[in-house]
Amino acid sequence: MLSQFEDKESDPGSGDGVSLEKIFAEIADFHDVDNYYKDLILTLRRKNDCQTAISKILEISLSPVDLVIQLELILDLVLGIEWLTLEHKGAVFLQDGEKGLRMIVHRNLSTSLVSMCQKLDYGQCLCGRAAQTRQIVFKSCLDHDHENMPAGITEHGHYVIPFVFNQKTLGVLNLYVKHGHVQTEEEVEFLSSCDRIISSIIHRKQIEEKTIFLSYHDELTGLPNRRYLFSEIENNIHYARRYKTCFAVLFIDLDYFKRVNDTLGHQYGDAILKQVSTRLTKSIRKCDFAERNGGDEFVVLLKNVDDIETIRMIGNKIIKNLANLYVIEGKVIEIGASIGVSLYPNQEILDEDIDGLVRMADMALYGAKSKRGSLVISGEGPACQEKPQVDVDHC
């Protein structure tokens, strides 16, 4: 049989024989086809992994948690994608100021590295460069572009992906790869998709947080607003009733402020209001509460005050600090402040009559305005007179 096969193999013109060359060619073709389908299956699996990961990221974006928790979940998800062959370490930075980054999420980074990279400027190290150029930065090894290298750092590479929305950098994602890692188009395509989705998540979440903040805070000064004030007064009433304590509501009106707006313009008026809010918060204790009521009116809640003298001391401190000269764009401006005060508990109002408490402070303010730069207390009842004086600086 072997001799017959050899005879047929040696006779290429024989019609019923099969050459070894043809058999080997068919085997090679089959091997190539097999490799092709293996590569195709691998590519399809990776694409499926990408779609699954993106779907999960979108699910995370809908979860009712704050942005930091969402970014923690997304970082863990990306680090867990096997075909990316990432080291299980990385970090997320968000924009901090005009040209800065602040690390808010990290995984498996050394304490020294976290401390070193907690805040970065645009252009500083790989993260700063990605934020500045708004381009993905890839490094297969440590090189001169790694400015922050703590002692004991091991060889590795990086993908740094900037989060960009409407041509504005929102932050960066820093991922670690093994030393000598070879960049692929699939990786860049997937990470670019992640960039677009995560950037949209950050932008939307920041808009939501700003909207919530502005619903309870004054946009100009950043102080709580009237809505927040009424909620805080209600909480203080419940606390005072339960623990038999007192608190005071101080209505503050700026003297001569209208003259500033009329003669110098609202630009100067707004600048003064910002400085007033800063001076006001520095004049009260840490546990107290300051609010802008609108226009040139502010409100302070003095919590846990047990005597009239404490209220007078803090109130006069506020008047003094707000009366100090203001320097705005080289102009020296002088204003003053008058304060009307109501106390809780108060026999003249019902226990939970917030409007009544506010109204009494407002009425006392009218009396203070008649003298300019003074403090008038309404309803000085015995509840806030018989107890020992508390610390003016701390609750």
Give the contacts of 246 (CB within 8 A, at least 6 positions apart): 240, 304, 305, 306, 343, 344, 345, 383, 384, 387
**pLDDT level of residue 287 (50, 70, 90 thresholds):** very high
Q: Is the pLDDT of residue 124 over 60?
A: yes
**pLDDT level of residue 381 (50, 70, 90 thresholds):** very low
**pLDDT level of residue 346 (50, 70, 90 thresholds):** confident
Which regions of the chain carry the CATH code 3.30.450.40?
41-213
**Sign of the C-alpha dihedral, residues 385, 388, 389, 395?**
negative
How far apart, in whole angstroms, are the C-alpha atoms of residue 248 and residue 124? 50
Instruction: Give 143-168 pLDDT, tens digit per residue.
Output: 888 888 888 888 999 999 999 999 99
**DSSP letter assigned to residue 148:** -
177 SS3 class:
strand
CA angle 142, 148, 149 (to 5 degrees): 60
358 SS3 class:
helix
How many CB atoms are closer than 10 A to CB 67?
19
pLDDT (average), residues 300-319: 93
Could you say which of 3.30.70.270, 3.30.1330.40, 2.40.160.20, 3.40.50.1100 is the CATH number of the domain covering 226-384?
A: 3.30.70.270
Quote the percentage of the chain above a pLDDT of 90: 64
pLDDT (average), residues 294-311: 92
Quote the percentage of the chain above a pLDDT of 70: 83
The DSSP element (H or E) to which 130 belongs, if any, is: helix 125-133
CB 132 within 8 A of CB 123: yes
Residue 144 φ then ψ, to 5°: -65, -15
Instruction: Give 83-98 pLDDT, tens digit per residue.
Output: 888 899 999 999 998 8
pLDDT confidence of residue 306: 80
pLDDT confidence of residue 256: 93
Beta bridge partners of 169: 164
Give the amino acid at 180: G
**pLDDT level of residue 386 (50, 70, 90 thresholds):** very low
Mean pLDDT (the chain) is 86
Q: Is the pLDDT of residue 74 over 70?
A: yes
Give the contacts of 290 (CB within 8 A, at least 6 positions apart): 223, 224, 277, 280, 281, 284, 298, 299, 300
pLDDT (average), residues 252-271: 94
The DSSP element (H or E) to which 368 belongs, if any, is: helix 354-369
pLDDT confidence of residue 51: 85
Residue spans of alpha helices (H) in 155-298: 185-216, 226-243, 257-264, 266-283
pLDDT confidence of residue 385: 41
Domain spanning 41-213, CATH class = alpha beta
CB 374 within 8 A of CB 368: yes
State which of 16-20, 305-309, 332-336 shows the largest mean pLDDT: 332-336
Beta bridge partners of 90: 107, 175
**DSSP letter assigned to residue 8:** H
Give the contacts of 321 (CB within 8 A, at least 6 positions apart): 279, 280, 282, 283
Which regions of the chain carry the CATH code 3.30.70.270?
226-384
How far apart, in whole angstroms, are the C-alpha atoms of residue 293 and residue 361? 13
What is the pTM for the complete model shown? 0.68
